[in-house]
Structure formats: C-alpha cells, structure tokens
Structure 1
Amino acid sequence: MHDLDFLRTLAVQAAHQAYAPYSKLRVGAALRSAAGHAYTGCNVENASYPVGGCAERAAIAAAVQAEGPGFRLQAIAVAAFGSDGAALPVSPCGACRQSLIEFGADAAVTFRQSDDGWMEVKAGELLPFRFILPSR
C-alpha cells in the first residue's frame, strides 16, 4: 500500500507534467485504489477552455481504464503550482468532488494549505449535498 506522503510526492511530480499554457496553474493528482494500485493525472488545458480536463478526473480515468468499472477510490492527493513555481492551496473543484464521491465517499482527500502543510478530509465532506441519481 502507498501512504499519503507517497501519493503527495506523486501528485507533485504529476503537476510538473501539466499542460497549462493559458492559466499557468499546474495541477497534479495521485490516487490509490482499493486494490492498492497508484494512478496519476495532471490538468490539460485547451484554447477552448471547457475542453480542458482536471488532474483528479484524469487520475480517475487512468484507474478505471486499468481496473475497470469496479474501481474504488481509497485516497487521493492533489498538488497545485502557480506560474512562479510556488505551491498553491487548491482543493478539488466541484466537478472533481462529485467524481471523487462516485468512486469513494469515504476516500481520504489531501491537498496543500497556504502554510505549505496538507489538509486531509474525506471526499464526502468536500461535497455534503452531492448529486445522487434517484433510483427508478
């Protein structure tokens, strides 16, 4: 199993691979699946802004591709850096929060704070009033 420090290191590495020519905000994510595997992702921007993708959802897509629809999220780390290379306190966006919950509401989510420390919460705490598709 990978501990959160390992995931944080992988998230930082993934952020350095980001394609962010427009916002200059480079974000990386590294997750651990319930099966014990690690997957990473980075943000990829596009001149047509809505077409870009977030690091967290890129990591989830890599995990689903590798493990299939049974993938379950155990933990994820998110690291963000500004144009000057300084670490930024950026938590997952709303779309990513919903995606995290889809695969593990109890998963640990860790992201940087302004004091260079890391915050850790459960995915469900980030979006307490999440969308749930009603059963028919």
Structure 2
Amino acid sequence: QQKQSVTLFDWFNYFTKKKVLPKSDLWKCPQCNALKKATKKIDLWLLPKVLIIKLKDVNYIRYFRDDIDLFIDCLIQDLDLSQFVLNPAEKAKAKYDLIAVCNRIGNLSDEHYTTHAKSSLDKQWHTFNDSKISDVNVEDVI
C-alpha cells in the first residue's frame, strides 16, 4: 500500500483557510455578551529570514495517541510562498530553500530522530544520526 502524501502547498492552503470554530469555542459578543458561532482565519503578513515548519506527527484522540504516517512533498529550492502572504512588501521575500529536515523514525513506544542538513560550507547534504555523520544525496532528503 502506497503511503498517503500531500504537498507543502496543500498544508499552507489548509493552514490559511477560514475555519468555523466548534460549539465548545463560541465567541462572546462584547456588545450583548451573547455567545455566538465564530470563525478564525490565519494570514501571513511578515515573513522570517529562516522559516521553521513543525508538522504534527502524532494525532491525539482523547486518551490515545496515533502516529500520522503521511509523506509531505516539499521543494528543495525556491519554495515560493508569496500566494499566502497578504503584505505586498513581503511577497518578494517569500522564497525559501530547504536547509534541514528532522526525521522521526519508529513508533510511539520506540522512536528515534535523525536530521538531514545542508552544509553552508560545502553545500552538500549530510545525515546526522547520533554521533554518526554521513553524506546523503539531495534526492533522498525528502
């Protein structure tokens, strides 16, 4: 069975979409004090020089945890997020190059983390696995 996958653009589309809040999260009107249905919308206005994206890897349902086994397809170079930025002055700064990926391997009871990172000195990709450092092909980073 092939692993389910989404792109980073899918994730940003979902992240910036207007969402209706559940009944447990009603909004209190400041004029009449009545509890009302509400929506929330997250927009990007200012962008950092280095963008860190932490994707959820565990799903919590009441008292249970479950791994999220999903492949996130991401561009290595020139990830252009300008379509998600409202501030016109920031759109020119909305391109990013991937410089590192943190990998969670295993399951909930036995997990291990490794990192793929691009060296700023030799521009090559390396894998960091505890005390072992090895070269990795850019095609194997994602």
Per the shorter chain, which TM-score range?
Answer: 0.3 to 0.5
Higher RCO, 1 or 2 (CA under 8 Å, sep at least 6)?
A: 1
- Structure with the higher fraction of residues in helix conformation: 1
TM-score (norm 2): 0.33
- Structure with the higher fraction of residues in strand conformation: 2
TM-score (norm 1): 0.34
